[in-house]
Amino acid sequence: MVLITPWNTSAASRPLCSLTFLFLLWKGFLLAVALIAALAPAYDTSTTLFLERMYGRDARVPLLAAQLTRWDALYAMHASIKGRIYEQEWAFGLGLPALVSGIARPLAGVTPSGYALEPIVAILFAHITHFLAVLCLHRLTVLLSGNPRLAYLSAALHILSPAGLFLSAPYNESPFACLSFLGNLLFAMGLTSTLLGPLRTHGAMIAAGLSFGLATVFRSNGLTSGLLFAVEAVKNLHRTVVAGSGSQRVGGMGALTVAVLGGLCVAAGSIVPQTLAWMRYCAGDRDVSRPWCDKMVPSIYTFVQEKYWNVGFLRYWTLNQVPMFLLAAPMLAILLTSGIDLLQNPQQVSRVADKPRNNDEGCKWFVRALAASQVVVAVLAIMTYHVQIITRISSGYPVWYWWVAGCLMEKKRQRLGTVIVMFMMLYGGVQGGLFATFLPPA
C-alpha cells in the first residue's frame, strides 16, 4: 500500500489525486460496513422510533441515513428539526443542528413529504468537512515542514482515523476537525508570513481565532486551542517589555493585542452558547430557574453533563468501566506519547525541511502548544470524560498524525508506525459495524 510504504513517493507527488482516491476508498468501505450491518437487527430501536416520530409512520428514510443516525446523532437531528426542547440537548454543540436546519429548511419545499432530509444533509456535510479537513492538514504540514511525504502521510492518517463512522455520521467530529485544522493553518500562516506585512499577519491570526471559535461551537474541547493564543500573548508581552526601540515596542503591543483578540474569539465559541442558555433558563422568573443558574459560573453544559451523563472528576473510575479504559488505552497511549515527544522535540515536524522556514522558533512554540493541548485532552479523557470518546475526539488534533507519519518514515520506528495504522483500520472497521447496529462503544 502507498500509505504504509513511505519510500514510495508517487502518492506524495500528486497528493490531491492520491488523497481523494484513498478518501473515497475508505469511506466506501465504512459505508458498506454500515449497510451490511443492516442485515442484523439493531440492538436498540431508538432510531426507528425517532424517525417515525419526526417524519411519520410513512417516512421515507434512506437505509444509510437510518444506519448512521445512532447514539448522540439522535440529539443533533432532534435539535435540527424541532429546536432545543430538552435541557440535556445543551450538552451537544449548537453548530451542527443550526447548520443542518439552515440548509434543510429551504430544501423542504422541493423535497417529498415525509422525506428524512435532515440526516441526509448532516451526513453529506460530515463527508464534505472531513475531506476539507484532510486538505487543511496536508497544507498545514507542508507549510510547517516543507516535506510533501510527511504531509501526505499525515493527511492519509486523518482519513483512516479510528473515529471511523463518527466522521461520516451526523456528529460534530468532522466539522470540528475541519475548523480546527483550518484555524491551525491560518495561525501557522500568521507565523510564517511575516514578509507579507503586519496587517496580513494579524489578519491571519484573528481569522484563526474565529475558526477556532466556530470549532468550539461544534465541540467544547475546542477551547484547548486557546492555548496557542496564550503562548503567543506571553511571547509578545515579553517582546514588548524587552524591546529596545519604540518601533519594536509598538510591534510587540500590536501582536499582543491580536493574540488577546484571537483568544477571545476562541472563548466566544463557548460563551455565546452558554449566554443563550442563560437567557432562556435564568433571565426570567427566578423561582422557576434551574439550579445551575445560581452557580458562580452558570454553565448549562457542565450541569447537564454531570446530571444526565454523570461526567465529572474520577466519576468514570468504576469497576464496570474497566473495559472502556482498556478500549481507549491504545489511543490514549498514542496521544500522550506523541504529545510529550513533540513537546520536547518540536523540530520533528520541520527537521526534514529543505530550507529554514520563516520564524522557525515561532513554529516550534506553535508545535509545542499543539502538543500540550493534545496532552491536556488525553488527561481530561482519563480523569473526567467518558474515556472511550477519545478515539473520536482525537481526530481533530494534528500532532499525533505527524508523529505516526514520522514513525512510518523512519526505519527504526517504521514497524511501530505500521502497527498503529493496522490498529486504526481494524478499530475503524469493527467500530463501524458496532455503531451501525447501535452497539457500544459510542
Mean local confidence (pLDDT), 124-140: 99
> Which grid coordinates belong to 167?
466522521
Span 363-393, pLDDT tens digits = 899 999 999 999 999 999 999 999 999 999 9
> What pLDDT was estimated at residue 357?
52
Confidence of residue 243 (pLDDT cuts 50, 70, 90): low
> What pLDDT was estimated at residue 196?
61
Distance (Å, rounded) from C-alpha 217 to C-alpha 267?
Answer: 10
Mean local confidence (pLDDT), 128-138: 99
What percentage of the chain carries pLDDT values higher than 70? 93
Residue where the block lists cell 520541520: 350
Give yes or no for residue 138 having a pLDDT over 70: yes
Confidence of residue 110 (pLDDT cuts 50, 70, 90): confident
CB 163 within 8 A of CB 369: no
Mean local confidence (pLDDT), 132-139: 99
Residue 58 counted as domain residue: yes
Query: How high does pLDDT run on average in the chain?
Result: 92
Residue 1 counted as domain residue: no
Contacts of 193 (CB under 8 A, 6+ apart): 200, 201, 204, 358
Cβ-based burial of 325 (10 A; exposed 0-12, middle 13-18, buried ≥19)? middle
> What pLDDT was estimated at residue 7?
41
Give yes or no for residue 353 having a pLDDT over 60: no
> What pLDDT was estimated at residue 354?
46
Residue 4 counted as domain residue: no
> What pLDDT was estimated at residue 351?
54
> What pLDDT was estimated at residue 194?
60
Residue 442 counted as domain residue: no
Residues recorded for the chain = 442
Give yes or no for residue 420 having a pLDDT over 70: yes
Mean local confidence (pLDDT), 432-436: 96
Q: 123 vs 4, which has greater pLDDT? A: 123
Continuous H helices in 109-225: 117-145, 148-159, 173-192, 198-218
Give yes or no for residue 147 having a pLDDT over 90: yes
Mean local confidence (pLDDT), 73-95: 95
Distance (Å, rounded) from C-alpha 438 to C-alpha 442?
Answer: 9
Continuous H helices in 395-436: 399-409, 414-436
CB 135 within 8 A of CB 155: yes
> What pLDDT was estimated at residue 370?
98
SS3 424: helix
Confidence of residue 29 (pLDDT cuts 50, 70, 90): very high
Q: 11 vs 278, which has greater pLDDT? A: 278
Distance (Å, rounded) from C-alpha 278 to C-alpha 289?
Answer: 10
Residue 162 is part of which domain span?
10-436
Residue 2 counted as domain residue: no
> What pLDDT was estimated at residue 172?
98
Give yes or no for residue 244 having a pLDDT over 90: no
Q: 12 vs 47, which has greater pLDDT? A: 47
Confidence of residue 352 (pLDDT cuts 50, 70, 90): very low
Give yes or no for residue 66 having a pLDDT over 80: yes
Domain count of the fold of the chain? 1
Residue 441 counted as domain residue: no
Mean local confidence (pLDDT), 45-63: 92
Give yes or no for residue 266 having a pLDDT over 80: yes
Mean local confidence (pLDDT), 152-173: 98
Confidence of residue 1 (pLDDT cuts 50, 70, 90): very low
> What pLDDT was estimated at residue 252?
82
- Among 4-13, 179-188, 324-333, where is mean pLDDT lowest? 4-13
Distance (Å, rounded) from C-alpha 236 to C-alpha 263?
Answer: 14
Give yes or no for residue 4 having a pLDDT over 50: no
Residue 407 counted as domain residue: yes
Residue 5 counted as domain residue: no
Q: Residue 197 carries which DSSP code?
A: -
Continuous H helices in 46-116: 46-55, 63-68, 73-82, 95-108
